[in-house]
Each structure stands twice: as C-alpha cells, then as structure tokens.
C-alpha cells in the first residue's frame, strides 16, 4: 500500500471535519481506511478460488452538544463525503442527549506517533500464491495415504492504510499489512474421519512458516486424531494448548469491557483489585511491539496507547475501556477503543512436556465447538475433542465430549503456564494447565 494512500485518506478526513464544522457540529471525528489484497485457495491439488479485493471507506461521527450522529460510506468522492456528513448531522437531531458522549479528552490524545514497523508488503502475485497454496496442500496429502481429502490450503496477503482525525486537532495514520497461510485436511481410516488444520500469520512475510511445514503439521494433527474414543463423565485436570488458550483469556477481555461492566452483566463485576487468577499469573498489555499483530500507536479515538499491567500476581489491575463507558463508570479511558493491543501472559517456566508430567493424568483439548460461555455467571461449557493422558504421556485421542466449569474457578485454578508461547494473535500465551474441570461423556 503506497504512502500516497495515506495522504489521500488524510485529505478525506480533513474534508469530512471541515464540512461537519460548516454544518454546526460542536465536535466531530472521522476514520478512513483503504486495503487491497489477494487470496488463493487450492483444494485437491487444483485451484479452487482466486480473489483480489480492494476496499475503502470512511466513517464520521458528529456531536451537537451531547447529541450524536454517525454515518459511513465507501465512496470517497468529495460529494459523497459531504452527503455522508450531512446524514450524520441530520441523525444527531433525533438522538437523545447523553452527557457521556463526545470525543476523547484532548489531553489523552497521542502526540508522539511511534513507527511500529507494521507494514511489510509481500509483492506476491497470483501465480506465486497459487504455487504456495498447492505446495502447502501437497505437503499435507503426500505424507500418508489416509490423508485422502482436503478442505484446502489458503494463502492470503493484504496491505492497508488507516487514518483518524478529530476536531480536537488530532490527525494521524499509519500503514499496515498482514499475510497468512493455512491448511485443513481430513484423515480417513475406514469409517473414521478426522479433520485438523494448521496456519501461520505475520505482518512480515519473511516471518511466515514455510508452506511445507504448515501442510505437514496439518496432516500430522489430522492423523493423530484417528481412532478417537469417548470418555466416561469425570472431573479431571485439563490442558489448553497455546493455540486454544488465547480463547480462554479472550473471555476475560469480554468480561472486563466497559459495556458489560456498566450494564452489570459480567461475572467480573466490581472485581478490580481482586484476586481473579492464581497468584502466579501476570498479564501485560504491550501496544508498541514492533510487527505485533495487535500493535497500534493509538486507539480508534486517537488516544495514546501505552504499556500497562492488566493482571498482577493474579490480581485484576485494570479494565478495558473506551471513552464513553469510561465516563459512564466514572473512570478514564484505557486506550482500548477498537480492542486490546498485544496481551502478553507470563509463563511459569515449564515446557509442554513438563505440563504433561505435572498433570500426570487428564485431558488435553485440541478442538472446541460451540460458544457456551455465560458472561453473566461465568459458566463455561463447550463441546471438545483432544487427547487423554496417563502417567504424563498421551495415550489416545478423544472426541464427542463436553468440558465444563466456571471461569472464576478455572482462572484461579491455573496450575501452570507453559513456555510454548503462541504469537499468532493479539493474546500471546503459552499452554495453560487448569487443576479441575468436568468432562461430560458417556
């Protein structure tokens, strides 16, 4: 994505704010973005889809006192932008006054915009992407004749630009990129059919895993699940491998967001400065990691992002707030309009093999299905598949069970966190061993 796009986005944002001011808005903000990319999927050794996309859009929010109106468009022409601003202003006349609405406080806006090395164009054209997708899938299928079917291998690349400005004088933007490769295959042995996948994602294409390694890992994981059995209902320790552990902690973020806290619809209501996790758990937000998948120099309101401790020695030290709900709660925004920025979870020094030995006997989750999480009570119940462990070693694959517990008990029951940190997302964590959950089976 050339830097010229960033200049064009700035011009569009400035035009938007100028028109809002002409129409009498007391405050206004606008965010504009452009992105272009390529995606190729190969299935059963042939090209299944080839897609090129180029997207753009601009959104505007205006305030007349404490009345708010918003509108957006994908047409970046001057006439379309002016019409969009006019629509937002018109809508504001019909909304109720809300004293908590408005732009982020000026003193909280970012003034120093660090270069976080977020944009690394790949320059990958369709023929090269097709070759990679075919290579990735072939690496999976060629390793065993039981890998006889495939959901495909996909290679994707995208470059983008985003810009934000508001009537407090904030004007800033940055370029970014994201590249990925994934493969999902099916292992078939008689009537037994099992599916699994592997993927790699990075801002810098040089940091992607190889097509061959992604394919081979997808095939290995599918083969490993053949011969799955059911378990009897029991209570047992459970390991969430790193690739699934981030979902467990993602539920924490949902529970400490401003909306749920204000509506009193979260199991972590009024939990600030309480011991929510086991005392060896520490979670830090690090927004400025170079090339980080969730790095950002400022949030969606222009508020400066900064390192902060979210959980310290098991104690919850912060919420996840944007300006509106922060005001509703009598607090200050935490710079999280638009989401979190690189949560890093401390480990307790054990490798995955060490976690198995510590657990001795229990269940490893390899896949979860459904979304059975009650954010009000913390009750957790999801369909699962995985592996049964005896004497610290994997014995056999398991399927068609449900794992259940309560998130408060699960978080406090974290026995250990592995050193096998998975960096492929906004939550960077190792595998997590929980002391006890209920497995519902036969």
The per-residue pLDDT for range 234-288, each reduced to its tens digit, is 999 999 999 999 999 999 999 999 999 999 999 999 999 999 999 999 999 999 9
Cα(142)–Cα(389) distance, rounded to whole angstroms? 29
Helices 126-141 and 211-224: angle between axes, nearest 10 degrees: 30
Cα(236)–Cα(405) distance, rounded to whole angstroms? 11
pLDDT in tens, 398-427: 999 999 999 999 999 999 999 999 999 999
For the domain made up of 3-224, the CATH class stated in words is: alpha beta
Q: How far is CA 245 from CA 82, 170, 308, 345, in A?
A: 46, 37, 21, 10
Q: How far is CA 441 from CA 230, 232, 233, 339, 398, in A?
A: 6, 5, 5, 36, 10
pLDDT in tens, 290-345: 999 999 999 999 999 999 999 999 999 999 999 999 999 999 999 999 999 999 99
Token pair for residue 224? 């490993």
Predicted local confidence at residue 4, as pLDDT:
86
- Statement: residue 440 has pLDDT above 80: yes
> Which range, 2-16, 40-54, 367-381, has the best average confidence (pLDDT)?
40-54
Predicted local confidence at residue 370, as pLDDT:
83
CA angle 188, 190, 196 (to 5 degrees): 20
Predicted local confidence at residue 1, as pLDDT:
42
Buried b (16+ CB within 10 A) or exposed e, 219-234: bbbbbbbbebeebeee
Token pair for residue 138? 């072939």
pLDDT in tens, 94-141: 999 999 999 999 999 999 999 999 999 999 999 999 999 999 999 999
Mean per-residue pLDDT over the chain, rounded: 96
Question: What is the arithmetic mean of pLDDT over 19-30?
Answer: 97
Count of residues in the chain: 442
pLDDT in tens, 51-87: 999 999 999 999 999 999 999 999 999 999 999 999 9
Model confidence at 442, pLDDT cuts 50, 70, 90, reads confident
79 burial via Cβ count (<10 Å: 0-12, 13-18, 19+): exposed
Token pair for residue 433? 């061993």
Q: Strand order in 171-189's β-sheet?
A: 67-73, 46-64, 27-43, 149-166, 171-189, 192-202
pTM: 0.93
Predicted local confidence at residue 371, as pLDDT:
80
Cα(151)–Cα(183) distance, rounded to whole angstroms? 8
pLDDT in tens, 161-220: 999 999 999 999 999 999 999 999 999 999 999 999 999 999 999 999 999 999 999 999
Predicted local confidence at residue 379, as pLDDT:
96
Residue ranges, comma separated, of all CATH 3.30.2290.10 domains in the chain are 3-224
Token pair for residue 337? 């309009």
Residue pair 166/157 in contact (Cβ under 8 Å)? The answer is no
């Amino acid at each position: 994505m050339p830097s010229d796009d960033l200049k064009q986005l700035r011009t569009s944002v400035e035009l938007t704010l100028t028109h809002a001011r002409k129409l009498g808005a007391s405050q206004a903000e606008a965010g504009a973005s452009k992105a272009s990319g390529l995606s190729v999927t190969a299935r059963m050794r042939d090209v299944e889809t080839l897609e090129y996309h180029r997207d753009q859009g601009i959104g505007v929010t205006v305030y007349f006192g404490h009345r708010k109106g918003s509108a957006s468009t994908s047409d970046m022409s001057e006439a379309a932008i002016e019409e969009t601003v006019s629509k937002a202003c018109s809508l504001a006349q019909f909304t109720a006054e809300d004293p908590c609405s408005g732009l982020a406080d000026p003193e909280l806006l970012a003034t120093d915009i660090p270069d976080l090395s977020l944009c690394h164009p790949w320059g990958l054209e369709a023929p090269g992407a097709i070759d990679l997708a075919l290579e990735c899938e072939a690496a999976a299928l060629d390793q065993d004749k039981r890998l006889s079917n495939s959901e495909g291998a996909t290679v994707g690349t995208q470059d983008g630009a985003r810009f934000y400005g508001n009537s407090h004088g904030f004007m800033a933007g940055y370029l970014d990129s994201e590249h990925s490769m994934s493969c999902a295959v099916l292992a078939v042995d008689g009537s037994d059919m099992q599916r699994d996948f592997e993927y790699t994602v990075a801002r810098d294409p040089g940091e992607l895993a190889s097509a061959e390694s992604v394919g081979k890992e997808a095939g290995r994981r599918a083969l490993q699940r053949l011969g799955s059995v059911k378990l009897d209902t029991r209570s047992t320790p459970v390991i969430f491998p790193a690739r699934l552990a981030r979902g467990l902690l993602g539920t924490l973020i949902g529970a400490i967001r401003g909306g749920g806290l204000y509506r009193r619809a979260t199991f972590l209501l009024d939990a600030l400065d309480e011991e929510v996790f086991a005392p060896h758990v520490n979670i830090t937000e690090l927004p400025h990691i170079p090339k980080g998948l969730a790095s950002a120099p400022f949030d969606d309101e222009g508020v400066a992002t900064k390192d902060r401790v979210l959980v310290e020695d098991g104690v919850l030290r912060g919420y996840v707030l944007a300006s509106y709900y922060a005001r509703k709660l009598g607090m200050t925004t935490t710079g999280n309009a638009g989401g979190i920025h690189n949560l890093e979870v401390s480990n307790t020094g054990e490798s995955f093999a060490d976690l198995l030995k510590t657990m001795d006997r229990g269940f490893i989750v390899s896949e979860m299905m459904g979304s059975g999480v009650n954010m009000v009570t913390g009750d957790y119940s999801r369909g699962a598949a995985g592996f049964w462990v005896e004497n610290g070693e994997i014995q056999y694959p398991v399927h068609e069970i449900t794992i259940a517990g309560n998130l408060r008990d699960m978080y406090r029951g974290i026995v250990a966190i592995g050193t096998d940190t998975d960096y492929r997302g906004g939550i960077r964590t190792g595998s997590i061993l929980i002391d006890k959950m209920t497995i519902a089976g036969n």
